[in-house]
Structure 1
Amino acid sequence: MIWILYLILFVLSFTLSVLGAPTWMFILLLILFVAASFLTLLYPLMWQKDAEKVKRYLLKSKQPYHRFLHAFLYEEESEAEARLTKIRQDQARKYAEIMLFTQQERWNDAKPLLKNMKKSDLTLYYSAIVAMEEGRLANYEKHKTQLKDPHYVTWLTVEELRRNGNKNEALTILEKQISTLGGLKLLSALHYKNKLQHSN
């Protein structure tokens, strides 16, 4: 898709130069090109409603973090661990480690990472998960109330219901949420649903 945008940029730039267009038109064209490229890259990760298309995007991506996410969600744990070692960007690697450690229930490995990272919805969510697991209810509630993203709050509510033996109610809430999600959140919710269906 990006190569099509480059081709359009080239054709339009050439046409404008032949027509002797003013400089501001070239600047506007460049701004539109950058915005379109940005949206093309973000759309599958944030808004795409077809889970298979998001999955294929992650699989084909050259970004190590995206390849890790695919392995984490769809492949063996050992493959996710191997992909993790290829992530060079420090913050992305730490996020990947937090996700993996939490899935492996390695709470003592996840906690120092969460403590030293900048506060975000993702770190607050995983901090709440760790606190819930360790029975630190005050910390759990604190993290949960600080979350700004309602989807993360829903996932915590679903987990509370599961732990209290209300698995069917938890699945009903999750199913309703899935119909509203796109991109990586859609894949995450489907992954969580699969785990929930196979849990006690």
Structure 2
Amino acid sequence: MIWFLLLVVLFAFLMGFFQVPIWIMYGVLVVVLILILYRNPLIFGKDAEKIMAYLKKSKAPYIQFLYHFLNGNLSAAEQVRGKIRSKKSKRSSELMLLMERKQYGKAKELLREMAGHKTKWYALSDIAINEGDVDAFKQYKAKITDTFFLNMLEVDQAVYVGKKEEAVRLLDSLIPKLRGYKLLTAVQYRKHILEGRV
């Protein structure tokens, strides 16, 4: 990916050097952006298997972490997490592992360090569901505006109270509307419910 970006910068420099008209430069920029979006199924991918294959082939540590995490291989995910360089991605991956292992106290400590973001409010809402804290759940849920996270909270509530069939039905209605990483997350969550891992 770095080589690709360097080639784009070099190409842009050459177009500027040869004084290519600006409309051609913008046209090339649009084509390059479309190619990047098309080649990355994590953004607009419609096929969960292709997205999973993309995660499996990727050399990026965070993407490898996501592959192992979504497949339920937490020990491999933990090993790959050590290779992640981005501080934000490392913190996010640590939070995901803590939530999966139901270590809510440590997760709350980590969330205190994070800025107010929809992921933070979703995680706090999910913790409140699992701890049975209705007031905290309402407080954190009110801060979430993303419909995907609100729908996933409904699924989490259904799983928590033991209505796994309802949770699967909710996911079945949600999956056709999703794309990219959100689609893969919902598909894998549904799979885990059906396998009894949740």
Q: TM-score, normalised to structure 1's length?
A: 0.83
**What corresponds to 2:181 in structure 1?**
184
- Residue 121 (structure 1) aligned with residue 118 (structure 2): yes
**What corresponds to 1:100 in structure 2?**
97
Equivalent residues in 2 for 1:1-200 (5 A)? 22-25=20-23, 27-40=25-38, 43-74=40-71, 76-197=73-194, 198=196
Give how far 1:34 is off: 4.7
Q: Which has the larger radius of gyration?
A: 1
Cα deviations across residues 16-48 of structure 1 (Å, max 9, x unaligned)?
A: 89xx7744245325533552354245x411221
In the alignment of these two chains, the number of paired residues is 192
Give how far 1:160 is off: 1.3
Give how far 1:131 is off: 1.6
* Structure 1 ranges of 4+ moved more than 3 A: 20-23
Give how far 1:102 is off: 0.3
Q: Where does structure 1 lack aligned partners over 5 or more consecutive residues?
A: none
Give how far 1:166 is off: 2.4
Q: Distance in 2 between matches of 1:163 and 1:108?
A: 18
Q: Where does structure 2 lack aligned partners over 5 or more consecutive residues?
A: none
Q: Distance in 2 between matches of 1:29 and 1:112?
A: 47
Letter in 1 for 2:76: E
Q: TM-score, normalised to structure 2's length?
A: 0.83
Give how far 1:106 is off: 1.0
Letter in 1 for 2:41: P
